[in-house]
Structure 1
Amino acid sequence: LSLFTLADCLLEGALPLVYAAHGGLYVRIDGERMRQIRLARGISLGALAKELGVSRRTISKYEVEDMDTSVDVALRLEEIFNEELIEPVDPFQTEAVGAEKIEVRGPVTDNILRLLLEIGFEVVPTNQAPFNAITREGKLVVLTGVGKFSQSIVKKARLMSSLSSVARTKSVVIVDGETKLECVEETALIEKRELEDIDETRDFEDLVAEKQSK
């Protein structure tokens, strides 16, 4: 996921349509919709498979097992049906091509992130990212890291600062314990005890701005 793609996702809600995996570039198609259109038009599995140059089993996997496909096959399917079938890819989920979908966005189990929920934020945990969650409330979007103060946390804060600069968001690391630093570049460092004293999202935003100004 490039910085510019991340910015589009966070600010514009523009999700990518193509992802890279072992063997090339792939897209996700709406298998159920494809099946409904095929049946409504009386096109058999065999006829469609022959048109695409693939097996009947492959067509069945597209429709029933939500197996992703190559870009050229997906475009050919849309051309045949004259319908949009390609679905956007959510970068905050991870899936293996042709495998059962693995949901990454689970419940917020981290005690510190749950404090943000109690304040009134929407919290989306992330996986395989240099931050632990994306925290949202209205137009405010915050890349949020969590951890005890250490040199690796400082490095994470610097990286998050670069990401937030490109994505035009805020970035915050919530420290489980004490820290003498108020800010690392543009990433505010907030102690857990400070977060526990906050009751509203506006107060959180003010605290971040105060930290960044020091």
Structure 2
Amino acid sequence: METLNRKQVIQEISHLLSGGGFETSQVYYQSCFDMAARKKLLLILLKVLVNVDSLNESHVQEIRKVASTFLASPLVVGVKSKTQKLEEDVVYERHGLPVIGIDTLKNIVLYDDYPEFLADRGGYYVNINGNLLKEYREEYSLSLKDLADLAHVSRETIYKYENDIVRANPETALILEDLLNMKITVDIDLFEAPKEKTDFTIINDASIQNEKTKDLTNLGFGVLETKKTPFDALAIEKNFDEFSKEENPLIASLESNRPEKTLHKMAISLKDLSLITDSESFFIVNNKKIKDSLEGIPVIRSWELKEAEDSKEFLNLVKERREN
């Protein structure tokens, strides 16, 4: 595995996900995330690296914003850290994002076998089901001190385990499981999506750099600009209908001076990403010679954007261009 380059690792992971029933996107090599993958309601944004220590913190910030907007799970998959191979069944962390090796991903995707161990300063740790620990301790009529003495830890430590205050080292967890004759460790759910979407209401004009972004904001959209993605911004109606599909983010390409050949390449990526994320996408351009759509992605001219009265009118125009 150490001899693989990044492109080979990405291809291997793509094949693995496809074999596990995931619908995978194309690879976005110049993006903060390399691919998106969906299986039913689960959406993952993956960053793939050979050496996970090379993860760029600015990319992490972008991945977080995009993942939160799509309610996706961000995940870094790699081969090694410095010169040491990432161990199987262990979750690492870089800049707050979960990091796993390919074998760990394989266990999850093919066998639904999630890792238990978390690598942190000082070694490996596991999470304990505190309620279960307390239930079985009481069932065996053991006090906190009784169980602490048997496990060679302090009474306070057992109390913290039962109240989910601290993690345990694997050796202590194994002793407790032997004593209680019960599995009490908890698998790490790497695919837990963000509980809340990006709050577009906090985005204000001071954060907006693009003229077209300002125009979208004036129509009633919340807009989040991005830099290291296959698109330029994500937008959402601030006052969407509760039952409307427009609740999903809109994927926008807003740069007006790109050559048409470049726009065609971007359109392929936008179409691909729209299918994976179940989102609408569109271009806003200045060039009136460009057709009303590129690779099936609606094209809106900048003056049409300015002439729209509100978000509903703009979205109707996008829908019309898409259907035609």
User: Which range is displaced more, 7-16 or 139-148?
Assistant: 7-16
Instruction: Report SS of the residue matched to 1:180.
Output: coil
Aligned to 2:235: 135
Q: 1:76 aligns with which of 125, 143, 147?
A: 125
- Structure 2 gap segments, 5+ residues each: 1-32, 38-43, 47-65, 87-91, 97-116, 129-156, 168-187, 195-205, 241-246
- Residue matched to 2:270: 160
Q: 1:19: which partner in 2? A: 76
- The separation in 1 between residues aligned to 2:280 and 2:315, in whole angstroms, is 9
Distance 2:254 2:298 in 1: 12
The offset of 1:71, in angstroms, is 4.1
Taking the aligned partners of 1:163 and 1:107, their CA distance within structure 2 comes to 25
Q: Match of 1:182?
A: 292
Q: Which has the higher contact order (CA 8 A, sep 6+)?
A: 1
**How far 1:11 moved relative to its partner?**
7.1
Cα shift at 1:19 = 2.9
Partner of 2:141: none
Decide whether the 8 Å contact of 2:71 with 2:193 is kept in 1: no
The equivalences for 1:1-214 within 5 A come to 1=33, 2-4=35-37, 5-6=44-45, 9=67, 13-16=71-74, 18-20=75-77, 23=81, 25-27=92-94, 71-73=118-120, 76=125, 78=127, 82-83=164-165, 107-137=207-237, 138=240, 139-147=247-255, 148=257, 149-214=259-324
SS at match of 1:76: strand
Shift of 1:111: 0.6
Q: CA deviation at 1:14?
A: 3.8
SS, match of residue 272 in structure 2: helix
In structure 1, C-alpha distance between the alignment counterparts of 2:290 and 2:281, rounded to whole Å: 18
Contact 1:188 1:211 in 2 (8 A): yes
**In 2, Cα distance between the equivalents of 1:144 and 1:84?**
43
> RMSD of the alignment, in Å?
3.6
Q: CA deviation at 1:182?
A: 0.9
Show CA shifts across 1:138-184 (max 9, x none): 30421100222521012111211111011110111110332331112
Q: Secondary structure at the match of 1:3?
A: strand
Of the structure 1 ranges 113-122 and 170-179, higher mean CA displacement relative to structure 2 is found in 170-179
- SS at structure 2 position matched to 1:72: strand
TM-score w.r.t. length of structure 1: 0.61
Task: Tell me, yes or no, if the aligned pair for 2:282 and 2:298 is still in contact at 8 Å.
Answer: yes
Q: 1:116 to 1:27 in 2, by over 3 A?
A: same
Deviation at 1:114, TM superposition (A): 1.0
Q: Give the TM-score normalised by structure 2.
A: 0.42
Quickly say closer, same or farther: Cα 1:84–1:140, change in 2 above 3 A: farther
SS at match of 1:203: helix
Structure 1 Cα separation of the partners of residues 118 and 249 of structure 2: 32
What is the CA–CA distance in structure 2 between the aligned matches of 1:13 and 1:211, rounded to whole Å?
Answer: 27
